[in-house]
Amino acid sequence: AQKITQTQPGMFVQEKEAVTLDCTYDTSDPSYGLFWYKQPSSGEMIFLIYQGSYDQQNATEGRYSLNFQKARKSANLVISASQLGDSAMYFCAMREGIGTGRRALTFGSGTRLQVQP
């Protein structure tokens, strides 16, 4: 079974509009963390935002926010006021076993976002 599922291969959004990128996850571990990364066409991976399984509030970082619904096992990324520079691939990733030594991430297949002027 897929641990991280991103069901939207591609998304379009108008400049200045908000967009939600979906991510659902599967784990039986009570302690985990969810990360979102942005990958421009140049290839580097840019960290955007983090949500821990025990965090009481949804994470926010500037124009990025995370709609975390623990019971539904979803961690959707919301980008407000889209900019042309937001056009990129976006990956959701999970780290299980927070508090143990393992820090490797499991990634979803990504969503390609295109912002239109």
Q: Tell me how far, at minimum, the Cβ of 10 lies from another protein, in Å.
A: 10
Burial class (CB in 10 A: 0-12, 13-18, 19+), 63: middle
Q: Answer yes or no: are the C-beta atoms of 47 and 35 closer than 8 Å.
A: yes
Token pair in block for residue 37: 């990364």
Q: Tell me how far, at minimum, the Cβ of 43 lies from another protein, in Å.
A: 5
Site for another protein in 31-50 (CB under 8 A): 33, 35, 37, 42-45, 47, 50
Nearer to another protein, 16 or 102 (CB): 102
11 binds another protein (CB under 8 A): no
Token pair in block for residue 81: 């006021």
Site for another protein in 52-111 (CB under 8 A): 52, 91, 93, 95, 98-99, 101-110
Using CB under 8 A, list all residues that contact another protein.
Answer: 4, 6, 9, 33, 35, 37, 42-45, 47, 50, 52, 91, 93, 95, 98-99, 101-110
